A and B are shown apart, each in its own frame.
Chain A
Amino acid sequence: MTRTTMRIGAAALGILLAVAACHQDQLFQPYPNGPLDPMFTRYVSMGNSITAGFQSNGINDSTQLQSYAVLLGKQMQTPFFVPLMARPGCPPPYTNVYLQTRVPPAVPNNCALRAQQAVPPPYINNVAVPGAEVLDGITNFGPGTNANGLTTFFLGGFTQTQMMMKVNPTFVTVWLGNNDVLGAATSLTNAGDSTRITDTLTFASEYRAVLDSIGRTGAQGGVLIGVANVTLIPYFSKGSKFFNVKAGTDSIAGPDSASRRFRANFLVDPSCAAPHGDSVLVPFPAGAARLAAARADTVTIVGVNCNDSVNVQPVELVKLQRTVAAYNRLIAAEAAARGYAYFDPNTLFTALPAGSIPTFPNVITFPPRAAFPAAATTPFGAFFSLDGVHPTAASHKLVANALIGVINAQYGSHLPAIP
């Protein structure tokens, strides 16, 4: 009896233990295998509107998630928190640049608030803020800074470097500097205004301050991304293009022969003829947008004058290009000195097949004579969004894959390309 009782007791105890051992909760991790490489445990991206995911002159939780930085984080298999803006956005992106319509519904101040995320981000990985120049990476206050509503929405009173340091990153990408020349190039009153360019000595000092902050963290690696040549974006069209189309020796895209030409009430000054016109960049508001207006209102006479200061003049163009080159020499040198990888984004876009970046926007027709959806959906081609400045999701993917190649080459990692 005693022996039997002991056996039953032992068996019961064994079953109990086995059942208890199996009764574990399902333990879930977003990336069960962790980051692809320990170097990518905490990735932070610094930058401006491009890195933040600004598109079509707006930003929301859809465009933000198309950023190359988000794509890169996914390939790293690392948690990557983005300060998502609620729909329709802040401001909501354009749905049609000619009609100036935006993602509905209308919201007060043209700005929805931060999205209420199911899991509040414990920190922010994408600290990039639209409008930021290099100086804005290190301070929100003082002359020359560009803090805006999104600075608070994204960083809540911190600077980009402060937020970056809170994360204690293991890997950092920096794509700052575009706005130090873009602001000059896209000035609505004086495109190419050289006085708005950050001088290279100041740029160097501010850029090094950003890098010094990264150096004080435990970051094991990073990529410094060069400044984009802002004169290559489809927001600008050459003055000579306007002249040639008006002269009938060239044409623009359109659904029929009439819409491939300029109407009689759209004039082009002889100053736009080559060779002068080849070195004048006409910004979208002063060029294609006026052409659309001339099509909508066939009575009012409008036009383009290549001597007008609203266009980038040849001297200004040279200054912009030299500044970009100088910035990029500095950034490349700093990358080499600090052991970071360097990536020049201009090589990526100049290597695209001819015609990928249109030399002239697809312009809306009034009244619509035939279907020409490109004017509404891709006025600046497939690689630039509806504002002609900011890249589309397709471009972000290109950038992400290029960065993956650069990172793998520099650090011997095995980040997979995005298919």
Chain B
Amino acid sequence: MRRFAFMLFAGVPSVLAAQGFAVSEHNTCTMGRAGAAAASPCADGSAIYFSPAGLAGLAGKHLSFGSAFIAASGSFTDEFTLQQTKLDNPLIPVPAGYATYAVSPKLTVGIGAYAPYGLETKWPVAGFAGRFLGYNTKIHSIYIQPTAGYQVNSWLKVGIGWAYITSKLELHQRVDLSTQQAIPGVSFAQLGIQTGTDFADASLNATGNGFAVNFGAIIKLNDRLSIGGHWLTRKTIKYDGDAAFKQIATNLTLPPNNPLGLPAGTPVDALVLPQFVSGGALSNGPVHTTITLPPQGSIGFAYKLQDNWTLMADYQTIIWGWFATVKIDFDNPATPDIPLVPHNKDTHAVRLGTEYRHSDKLTLRAGYLYHTSASPSDFVTPLLPENDRNEFTGGASYRISPRIVGEVAYQYIKQNDRRGEVLPGAGNTGVYTFHAHLFGAGVALTF
């Protein structure tokens, strides 16, 4: 026993497979129309993410900034115990900002900051069986993207941006003594240690960076109909950081005649203590891993029903299937590295949006979107218990002055209930529910 072949961070692939890990609410105006912007992005610089070609022809100077605020609710109901645990997520802000400058009537340049891949899930530690897969997970990936849009001719616009990515990964989970090896080939569970015996708290903090390219084109077919699209390339980020382990007291003592052959009264905590000291499998130390932020793209059209009323539709895909393996590499030789092989699926979304200019001051927006999930049925975990989603949006712009426009938007996410897992290796033993209210607010300035 004396050496653990221990299992840690086994739930990571689920996080990375999560469709919800891809965030699309990077602009209040676009949020109001369900993110449909490939052929006709909002005229506030947000084309830098949604469709870089849309920068072309954007006259003058524009500055826009704002944030979406995600109020998520969810639960896991264990189908055996019927115990329901509620998601404990805080209100999560997702800020974004863009600035553009028209160099010439044909060429516009700009820079934007947005976070297309991000996640935070937080569950209560006490009593939640899924804490051994992860009780608090955060991924922040910020893209800072200088971009240029060029009007090639009367019907073609192209654009390209080069994004610097800075990413931060934070994972927290408990470690279950019952899943550890007491002696080679024999787990503590086989000796009677109960499922869900916390004996360590593990955390991983790491950062990384990289570069990606975002490019696209918009074709104007006639005065009413345009088509467009963009593609944001993938980037494999190498993360470097630290893993930290804190012992959690089990307060268990071995009874007489125990199968370990140890004296009656032997504290289990003393038994596992050597694992936490320097050189032990659960001693603190550097850790490295790599995560592929997958490529994504969309194509769509914009059709002017009337001069003041436009209908937009986009198809979007994120190639999660390219995300093949993850290896969590501990510098500590006593800590086994963890190879992970997720089985993600590419995701697909349909976004329908409409925009109605009620007056020179007021513009109204609405939209609906549906997207599939990336997680296969055997990787639905507390880290991001995702499923296919239906989402409904609405928004409005109000011109406060000739140079200032205020934006608001609302989005409701209803995720289909889905069976998922909370115990490593136990399969799906309960049902996750999820829904969220998103509120967007922003300002667009024109100079």
- A: which residues have CB within 8 A of B? 2, 5-6, 9, 12-13, 16-17, 20-21, 23-30, 34, 41-42, 79, 81, 83, 86, 111, 113-114, 116, 118-124, 140-141, 145, 147-149, 151-158, 163
Contacts and interface: CB of A to CB of B under 8 A. Distances in A.
Given A20-B388, A149-B258, A157-B254, A114 B194 contact: no
Interface string B198-236: 000000000000000000000000000000000000000
B136 interface: no
Interface in B162-218: 178, 186-187, 189-197
Interface in B339-382: 350, 352, 368, 370, 377
B255 A152 contact: yes
Q: DSSP class of A's interface residues: helix, strand, loop or mixed?
A: loop
Nearest to A154: B192
B41 to A, nearest CB: 20
B419 A28 contact: yes
19 contacts: A13-B352, A16-B368, A17-B368, A20-B388, A25-B419, A30-B80, A113-B191, A116-B187, A120-B426, A122-B78, A122-B195, A141-B265, A149-B259, A151-B255, A152-B254, A152-B255, A152-B257, A156-B252, A163-B194
A147 B195 contact: no
A71 to B, nearest CB: 18
B427 interface: yes
B434 to A, nearest CB: 13
Contacts of B60: none
Given A28-B419, A120-B423, A153 B192 contact: yes
Interface string B252-264: 1111111110001
Contacts of B370: 16, 20
Nearest to B190: A113
Interface in B61-114: 78-82
Given A121-B195, A154-B192, A79 B416 contact: no
B314 to A, nearest CB: 14
B92 to A, nearest CB: 25
Given A17-B390, A119-B423, A24 B305 contact: no
B387 interface: yes
A114 B192 contact: yes
A212 B122 CA distance: 38
Interface string B410-434: 0000001111000101110101000
B268 interface: yes
Contact of A25 (B178, B265, B416): B416
B129 interface: yes
Contact of B417 (A27, A111, A156, A157): A27
Contacts of A41: 82
Contacts of B328: none
Contacts of B377: 25
Contacts of A42: 81
Given A141-B255, A145-B256, A152-B259, A9 B416 contact: no
A5 B303 contact: yes
Given A23-B388, A24-B416, A151 B426 contact: no
A81 B370 CA distance: 40
B311 interface: yes
B311 A20 contact: no
Interface string B313-347: 00000000000000000000000000000000000
B255 A2 contact: no
B417 A24 contact: yes
A52 B304 CA distance: 75
Contact of A113 (B78, B256, B259): B259
B79 A30 contact: yes
Contacts of B427: 118-119
A152 B192 contact: yes
A34 B80 CA distance: 9
A27 B427 CA distance: 14
B306 interface: yes
Given A28-B419, A119-B429, 8 more contacts: A6-B305, A13-B368, A25-B416, A113-B259, A116-B189, A147-B264, A148-B257, A155-B192
